[in-house]
Amino acid sequence: MAADTYHDLIWQDLPPGRPGPNFADRLSFLLANLKGGERVLDLGCGEGFFLAELVDRGHRAVGADVAAVALERAARRRPDLKVVHLKEGREWPFEVAAFDAVWCSEVFEHVLDTQTFLSELRRVLRSGGVVLITTPNCSRLELLGCALSARRFASRFDPLSDHIRFFNRRSLRALLERFGFEGVEFADGQARGTGLLFAKALRSRF
């Protein structure tokens, strides 16, 4: 099965019209780290809930996703949104340094080809631009809970889950720095009670 088909099948099983858990917390983190009128790529935009918020606030925002089903829903909800279909593992249809910021919320854990994904992310982000990330946090406390509870382990590492990557602060920081990002910061207050990592990093200027 092709990766694009796989992602479409996942979206077909999801009911439409839901922005996902912790939407308000994630939106607050996103908006707090942007300046007015920036060029923003909503990477893994899904149905376009964050994309719509960005456009309504005056940002020059584009949404992109590998799932055509998600993009079709976004276009139906808000025909004014600009969305682009990406092919997994291939170059993205954007110019070098096309964006001031990239928003990547609940996406990293689904990425099959991390190397191509981050290389492309760096390519389309301008020098000194910001990448904003949220992803589930496999903290020591979470892993301890999994070690002590077979039920919790089975839930976290469900073999039928579409989560194929697992991150904690150390691994996410190391990954970003390896691909030319610097100044990695984690927003503790924003993440509290969500079970997520809220990360910010800058594209290095070399």
Domains of the chain: total: 1
Written as one letter, the residue type at 168 is N
Residue 77 lies in a domain: yes
> Beta partners for 39?
60
Residue 190 lies in a domain: yes
**Distance separating alpha carbons of residues 26 and 62, to the nearest angstrom:** 18
Give the C-alpha separation, 139 to 159, whole Å. 20
Please report, as a single letter, which amino acid is at residue 148. Answer: L
Q: How many residues does the chain have?
A: 206
Assess if residue 149 is contained within a domain. no
Q: Helix, strand or coil for residue 161?
A: coil
Residue 142 placed within a domain: no
Segments forming the whole domain that contains residue 119: 3-137+163-203
CATH number of the domain encompassing residue 174:
3.40.50.150
User: Across the beta sheet with 39-43, what order do the strands follow?
Assistant: 83-85, 60-65, 39-43, 99-105, 125-136, 196-203, 181-186
pTM over 0.85: yes
**Is position 93 within any domain?**
yes
Tell me whether residue 153 is in a domain.
no
Instruction: List, in sequence order, every residue forming a beta bridge with 198; answer none if it has no partner.
Output: 134
What crossing angle do the helices spanning 3-12 and 68-77 adopt, rounded to 10°?
Answer: 50
Residue type, 163: H
137 strand-pairing partners: 167
- Is the residue at 115 inside a domain? yes
156 falls within a domain: no
pLDDT by residue for the chain (206 residues), tens only, comes to 566 677 878 888 888 888 989 999 999 999 999 999 999 999 999 999 999 999 999 999 999 999 999 999 999 999 999 999 999 888 999 999 999 999 999 999 999 899 999 999 999 999 999 999 999 998 777 767 767 788 877 777 777 677 889 899 999 999 999 999 999 999 987 778 889 999 999 998 76
